[in-house]
Each structure stands twice: as C-alpha cells, then as structure tokens.
Chain A
Amino acid sequence: DGGITQSPKYLFRKEGQNVTLSCEQNLNHDAMYWYRQDPGQGLRLIYYSQIVNDFQKGDIAEGYSVSREKKESFPLTVTSAQKNPTAFYLCASSPYTGTSLYGYTFGSGTRLTVV
C-alpha cells in the first residue's frame, strides 16, 4: 500500500529540548516538503527537498533543520531555537517531472505541543 507516513501522531516537547519528526514515503517521489499549520491559518513551508542530499529553506526555516539521506525519508528536527513550536506539522511528497507539477500527497500529520 503506497503512501506517506508520519510519526509520531502526537509529540510533547519540553523547553530547551530538540525533537525529531519522522516522514517516510514509498511512492518513489523525488520531492518532499515540511509544512507547519497553525489554527485558523494556512500552510507555511518550512523546508523542501527536490533530490537526495539536497534541501532548501522555506518561508519559516528558523529553528528547524532537516536531512535527506535517503529518497524515502525526510525527517524534521525542531530545535530549542524555535520559540513557538506548538503546531500541526505536515509532511508531503510529489513526483518530479522536470517540466510540470503534480499535486502533493500529504502525511497524516504530527501534532507537537510544548509542555
């Protein structure tokens, strides 16, 4: 069954702690993305990656870091430098066609709460 899996579904972070959100896809998609969603707001891009070993900052990258060592995996680390990390985090992937664009497939999300 092809898809994109995020874990954990819920995550609690203490002040000053780094946490890592997992995102794995078996769709053979080249591009992967991390978005943050706050209540009543749209989706804001944190980081994206077009190919393995390459990634780009999005609009709100401060306080976050990513890696793309494998095509299937794009983990997001929320560092202690992110002062307001409580949000719903969505991972997405899309195929790379070179000249055209296709819709994203989203994961089911991770709800991160600072305690």
Chain B
Amino acid sequence: GENVEQHPSTLSVQEGDSAVIKCTYSDSASNYFPWYKQELGKRPQLIIDIRSNVGEKKDQRIAVTLNKTAKHFSLHITETQPEDSAVYFCAASTSGTYKYIFGTGTRLKVLA
C-alpha cells in the first residue's frame, strides 16, 4: 500500500547548525508534499509545502527539495534556533484522494 518513510526519528543539532529530515514516498502519482511542525502538546502546523511541478522551495530559514525520480523529498532548516525544537512530520498526497499519508515524525532537538 501507499507508504511514507521518514528519517531520522530523532535528530539533535547545535544551535546555529543545519538540520535535514528526509522522506521517501511509494506512490509515484503523489504530487503534493507538506511539512508540519508539532510542538509538545500542540496542534501540527503547516510550515512549508511543495508541489510536484517544482524541485525546491524556500521560506526564510526553511527549504524543501523534491526529487520525483527517486521519490524523495527533504526538509532543510538552516541556522537552527531553540524554538525550532519540535516534532516534524512529512506527508504525501495525490490530487483527488483527499487524504495524506504521513511519515512517522522526526523529533528535532536544538541544543543551546
């Protein structure tokens, strides 16, 4: 069945360093890839998304890259700050299906 694998499950970085989280999807028809940030006990919030017609998208310190051939996409956070500490989820979806397949999440810890 459809699947999204996310790695790593936990990631610790020093403040100011970069963090990279990777996801691989199985459905070649997937064409929308959002990333969510969930702070402890709070709701997931959309931080960036990318559609299959582009290879990269940036928003300040956050960027997402997409490799359709390899069926993987990655979240890049530069100049990490303590407030970036949270669980990050990737997801993949396909037009017409109305549902996402979520990855299992990455717990990012930014050490001051």
Contact = CB atoms under 8 A, between A and B. Distances in A.
A9 to B, nearest CB: 10
What's the interface size class on A, roughly? 20 to 34
Contact of B99 (A48, A96, A105, A108): A48
Interface stretch (B11-19, B39-47, B70-78): B39-47
Contacts of B105: 40-42
Contacts of B104: 41-42
A87 to B, nearest CB: 14
Given A41-B104, A101-B32, A108-B42, A33 B99 contact: yes
Contacts, number: 55
Given A42-B103, A100-B32, A103-B34, A31 B43 contact: no
17 contacts: A31-B98, A33-B99, A41-B104, A42-B6, A42-B89, A42-B104, A43-B89, A48-B98, A94-B98, A99-B95, A101-B93, A101-B94, A103-B46, A104-B100, A106-B43, A106-B45, A109-B42
Given A31-B98, A45-B99, 10 more contacts: A42-B6, A42-B105, A101-B31, A101-B32, A103-B36, A103-B46, A104-B44, A104-B46, A108-B43, A109-B43
Interface of B: 6, 31-32, 34, 36, 42-46, 49, 51, 89, 93-95, 98-100, 102-105
